[in-house]
Amino acid sequence: APWGYSKENGPATWHKDCPIANTGVRQSPIDLITTGQTCAKYDSNLKPVIVSYPAFSEATFLNNGHSVQFQPSAGNLSELSGGPLTKKYKFEQFHFHWGNNDSEGSEHRVNGKMYPAELHLVHWNSESPNFSSFQEAVGSNDPHALCVLGFFLKVGAENASLKPITDLLSKVKNAGSSVSFPGKFDLKAVLPETLTDYYTYDGSLTTPPLAECVKWIVFKEPIEVSTAQMEAFRAVDDGHGKPITGNYRPPCPLHTRTVAASFK
């Protein structure tokens, strides 16, 4: 049976098809601890993250049964650089993780605190000689083949920039359904202006195949969405006639990794 988030196919069972779930030493997500021994360490060399996201004009919005995913056509020119990165990365897709109430839903945590949701912007290194697509990057064993930007979502004012996405959720209620995104979508408008304050560490995909190929950049400043927008996520089905709720993996052991912070 395909993996998911239920008792029968959830994170505790993923090791059966993906042994790295239990044997990996750089698994994601993690709990981002800000004080004490294993806490994130300020690194003054960390620069702001630079994104170049021209509005997407052609994209598919898909409910794949374990999340909802926005994927522009391959020709999109969106790029990522700066921050801890030494290469330019190409945008692949964004998707979300959420819970069925406001006290849970994010994958990363801050001192044990979960946010109601987390947005992942997935990119792959477009300058590597070893691969030339997202799928090849995932299978490359390159520790930084991918870079995923994580943004926490918290409940507050309605997010007008994300409204075109949350308004579309009812159209992909059924697992396996997708729609062609109508018009243009300005992802840049969703993000905070300054991408200066973040945590960064070496980790993995948080869903199977759990490949340990991700440079993670998790931003300190949450993005606000309204209660209605959060509720819209909670109405999306998982393919077994139930809403997807709690499509987040619990935190994984840090092992010998260190987390760097770009802020004090």
Ligand X SMILES: NS(=O)(=O)c1nccs1
- Which is nearer to Zn ion, 106 or 262 (by Cβ)? 106
Q: What is the per-residue binding string for ligand X in 30-69, x denoting contact by CB under 6 A?
A: ----------------------------------------
Task: Say whether residue 123 binds Zn ion (CB under 5 A).
Answer: no
User: Among residues 15, 66, 97, 240, which one is catalytic?
Assistant: 66
Q: Which of 68, 117, 119, 122: binder of ligand X (CB under 6 A)? A: 122
Closest Cα to residue 227, out of 98, 72, 80?
Answer: 98
Q: Which of 120, 144, 215, 234 binds Zn ion (CB under 5 A)?
A: 120
| Residue 249 binding Zn ion, by CB under 5 A | no
The SS3 assignment for 95 reads: strand
Cα–Cα distance for residue pair 67/107, rounded to 1 Å: 13
Q: Which residues contact 135 (CB under 8 A, 6 or more apart)?
A: none
Task: State the chain's maximal CA–CA distance in angstroms.
Answer: 49
Binding of residue 110 to ligand X (CB under 6 A): no
- Write out the two tokens for 146: 């991918």
Q: Which is nearer to Zn ion, 120 or 123 (CB)?
A: 120
Q: Which of 109, 120, 123, 234 binds ligand X (CB under 6 A)?
A: 120
Cβ distance to ligand X smaller for residue 226 or 257: 257
Residues 6+ apart with CB under 8 A from 80: 49, 50, 51, 52, 88, 89, 90, 91, 121, 123, 147, 149
Is residue 97 among the annotated active site residues?
Answer: no
The residue whose two tokens read 């030493």 is: 25
Q: Does 147 bind ligand X (CB under 6 A)?
A: no
By CB under 5 A, residue 109 contacts Zn ion: no
DSSP per-residue letters across 230-242: HHHHTT-B-SSSS
* H helices present in the chain, as ranges: 20-23, 134-138, 163-166, 227-233
For residue 73, what are its two tokens?
A: 């056509």
Q: How many residues bind Zn ion (CB under 5 A)?
A: 1
User: Per rule CB under 6 A, is residue 244 in the interface with ligand X?
Assistant: no
* Shortest reach from residue 148's CB to ligand X, in Å: 5
Binding site for ligand X (CB under 6 A): 120, 122, 148, 205-207
* Residues assigned a catalytic role: 66
